[in-house]
Amino acid sequence: MEGTFAERLAAVRERIAKAALQAGRSVDSVTLIGVSKTVPAARVKEAVAAGLLELGENRVQEAREKIPAVGPGPRWHLVGHLQGNKAG
């Protein structure tokens, strides 16, 4: 998939809208979460600037560094399983 991040994001959102319509669902009932695993904070900021405001991380350690570096705006989700040794 080529183009700017904003163009690629728009294409994904269009595919989601078509799929939701075919399934008889509202587009608003679908949440697109961009998983930023191993992606540098600078690149994640590009995604946020393009309008991707739901982000996911699967490593708490990486999220602790990345969330403040990205700054305010996005809503973060923990994706996958939380290891017991990382809680607490």
pLDDT per position as a tens digit, 28-85: 999 999 999 999 999 999 999 999 999 999 999 999 999 999 999 999 999 987 666 6
Residue ranges of the alpha helices (H) in the chain?
A: 5-22, 41-49, 60-70
pTM: 0.84
Is 88 a residue whose pLDDT tops 60?
A: no
Q: Which residues contact 4 (CB under 8 A, 6 or more apart)?
A: 50
Cα–Cα separations (whole angstroms), residue 20 to 4, 6, 13, 39? 24, 21, 10, 28
Nearest-angstrom CA–CA distance, 58 and 15:
25
Question: Token pair of 77, please?
Answer: 């989700």
